[in-house]
Amino acid sequence: MSLIKDNRADDPIFLILQLCADANLRETVHMLEQESGYFFSLEYFKSLILNGKWEEVQKYLSSFTSVKDNKYSTRIYFDILKQKYYEALYKNEHAVALDILRKDLRVFEESNRELYREMTLLLTIENFREHKKFSFEGDFSTLRKELIKELRPIIEMNPVFKGRTEFPQINKTTLNTLIKDGTDDPHCHLQLRIGLPLTDHRKGPGPEISSSMGEQQVTGNLSSQINKSWSQLLRYLPATDS
């Protein structure tokens, strides 16, 4: 059983995410998405890829799944890192490409030695741009769009992302009540009460955490994140009538 509750629309995490989004606190939204693991924003993920922000792509993805979780996660990581590697080669950034090959792509060597060997040999090509397999006019935008198109169905089939790519319909009455309570008492803090067994959200369903110390630590981290987001949010909200 995961941290995500059945009645997601009433979950305080989603309420905070919606409030932060309405207040245009984008950084806070994506930080809380990663910290809680409740919602994987495909639109945000796509925007990172389209802008070639590969480090941020990997960081966001790693908050939900690791490269060895399952075959779908492995494929997602590989396709992203391969694109990152090819772009470095095309820009003649051989030192960067070598670093990607050694640090990021090495994990795939065992499962696909031939492809890894082929990618290694690409480093020896004097002019990567003249290689017929990669003859494009530096139009990274088109290639990144193709990558997104290929990744979407893989993400949808990945059980790790089940229930995490669709944001629930939030009741506006609940939101308004939350805002009123917060603005009436600027010092209030949401109390996150999780009555469900805790698991590592990046791994999906798994063994329950039975240690009370471990449970307090996970709950405390989430509560701290919510309180921080809530305090930041209140500065942007208009006062409401009593």
Q: What percent of the chain has pLDDT over 90?
A: 41
pLDDT interval class at 179 (50, 70, 90) = low
pLDDT score, position 83: 94
Nearest to 65 by CA among 77, 55, 53, 56: 77
Q: What does the pLDDT average to over 129-136?
A: 62
pLDDT score, position 226: 55
User: Model confidence over 147-160: pLDDT tens digits?
Assistant: 999 999 999 999 99
Q: Any idea of the CA torsion for 122, 127, 129, 132, to the nearest 10 degrees?
A: -70
d(C-alpha 37, C-alpha 35), whole Å: 6
Helix (H, G, I), strand (E, B) or coil at 240: coil
d(C-alpha 86, C-alpha 141), whole Å: 13
Is the confidence at residue 192, as pLDDT, over 50? no
Query: Which ranges constitute the DSSP H helices of the chain?
Result: 12-22, 26-36, 42-50, 54-62, 71-90, 94-103, 113-121, 140-157, 172-184, 212-234
Mean of per-residue pLDDT scores for the chain: 76
